[in-house]
Structure 1
Amino acid sequence: MLEDQLEQWIRNTPELMETAQACLAVRLPDYFIAGGAITQLIWNSLCGESPLHNIKDFDVVYFDTSGAMSETSYSDQIDRFVTHQVPIDVVNQALVHQWYPQKFGQTIPAYTSVEQGIDSWLSAFSIGFRLRENGEMQIYATEGLADAFHKRVKPNPKAMTRESYRKMVAGYCRRWPDISVEPWL
């Protein structure tokens, strides 16, 4: 089963596990380590590269409408717990709708959950994991894991423009030339 394979690869990547433990330690609300680092872990593992080859950062997403702590505060706290050198990008999905139009040129509604934010990503990247207090791992992949495991990238017009898609996939193709990219709809 693909989920079992992914969990094994995550558990065998100390930097991901250390980051998840840090998220628990700082009590990051409703978090997932998600997106590119997870997909790229899959791609690297499939082609025999080291797990973190070409990974720019770890996307840590969470959901908190209270605004009790800022993304920067959580990021600083997590950074104090980790010893690895992979940058960590902490984003509150409850606030994405506020800055998204300026960054990506498209207006989106406010998300109502962390999962809704993850669901807006490309299907091969809409994957996340988190640890529970008891050490059990939860993997979230509403679109499943097939696109990631087949190195297939498809557009998601719900939350991106043709231009932003083009820029994203150009970077992926430079780092992983064997991925397949479906054209914009």
Structure 2
Amino acid sequence: MEHLAGRPRHPGPHRPAGVLRARPAGGRPAGHRLGDPEARLSDADRFLGLVLGDPTVAAVLERAPALGAGEWWLTAGLLFQTAWNGLTGRPPGTGIRDADLSYWDDDPSWDAEDAVIRRGAELFADLAVPVEIRNQARVHLWYAGRFGAAPPAPFRSCTDAVDVFAAPCCAVAVTVEDGRPRLYAPFGLGDLLGLVVRPNPASPAPREVYEAKAARWRSVWPELTVLPWTPGNPGGRPAPSTYRG
């Protein structure tokens, strides 16, 4: 098992330059001192232990390469909500609506994405939740219409998209390379494992989106601590510090 993408990866249009960009959520330590590799590895072990045994997670990770979609990552809800269910003693699948499978293809046409979605519909037809497949190279084309906010700059990789998820607790992604799981968590795992929801200042999502998501999550997992939206937050991408195991 590779913790937090345990070996350097070559930068390029499809790959993040670093294996883990670790910054405590909100600019403050989130459970462990920044720069403490043993703490981060412990968080990774704990998180992966919570999610990799889930049958839906396992099925998506096992089958996703068959899409032939190049760079791909399982992201967001199925991962962090599976972890929350484990942490709070709830049955597997509680509160989970779908599985988000991101891929990156430099062809931003709807037809190309639709072909991948159709393959996925057959590949994942028997799973407990629908698998929502999206080409992250197209997000800027539809973002404003869906969220009513200015779109982000075009993403150059799937991990670019993870960096701007609405809250650090949901900014996690897992892929498989050489038969081994690789974890991307640009803000670390302190908020996720600590059941803390806070707004991501890097996210272009409007306040209403964050508050609606947080309210829905709190209704399912009342143990969550939800921090309020902070007006006037200047935003910005996660700091480019890198940890290599």
TM bucket by the smaller chain?
Answer: over 0.9
What is the match of residue 155 of structure 1?
199
State the SS of the aligned residue for 2:222.
Answer: coil
Alignment of 1:181 onto 2:226: yes
Q: For residues 192 and 99 of structure 2, what CA distance do their matches in structure 1 show?
A: 17
Q: Whose relative contact order is higher, 1 or 2, with alpha carbons under 8 Å and at least 6 apart?
A: 2
Question: Which of 84, 104, 116 is matched with 2:147 structurally?
Answer: 104
What is the match of residue 117 of structure 1?
161
Q: For residues 182 and 70 of structure 1, what CA distance do their matches in structure 2 show?
A: 39
Deviation at 1:9, TM superposition (A): 2.6
Deviation at 1:67, TM superposition (A): 4.1
Deviation at 1:145, TM superposition (A): 0.7
What is the match of residue 70 of structure 2?
29
Q: For residues 180 and 208 of structure 2, what CA distance do their matches in structure 1 show?
A: 39
Q: For residues 75 and 22 of structure 1, what CA distance do their matches in structure 2 show?
A: 14
What is the match of residue 121 of structure 2?
79
What is the match of residue 95 of structure 1?
138
Q: For residues 71 and 44 of structure 1, what CA distance do their matches in structure 2 show?
A: 32
Question: Which of 153, 165, 171 is matched with 1:126 structurally?
Answer: 171
> Pairwise mapping of residues 6-85 of structure 1 onto structure 2 (< 5 A)?
6-67=47-108, 70-82=112-124, 83-85=126-128
Q: How many equivalent pairs are there? A: 184
Identity %: 26
Which AA in structure 2 matches 1:130?
T
Q: CA RMSD in A?
A: 1.6
**Unaligned segments of structure 2, at least 5 residues:** 1-41, 231-245
Structure 1: 4+ residue segments shifted above 6 A: none
Q: Normalising by structure 1, what TM-score? A: 0.92
Q: For residues 176 and 188 of structure 2, what CA distance do their matches in structure 1 show?
A: 19
- Structure whose CA Rg is larger: 2
Q: For residues 191 and 180 of structure 2, what CA distance do their matches in structure 1 show?
A: 25
Q: Deviations over 1:35-67 (max 9, x none)?
A: 111110111000111232110000001111124
Which AA in structure 1 matches 2:132?
D
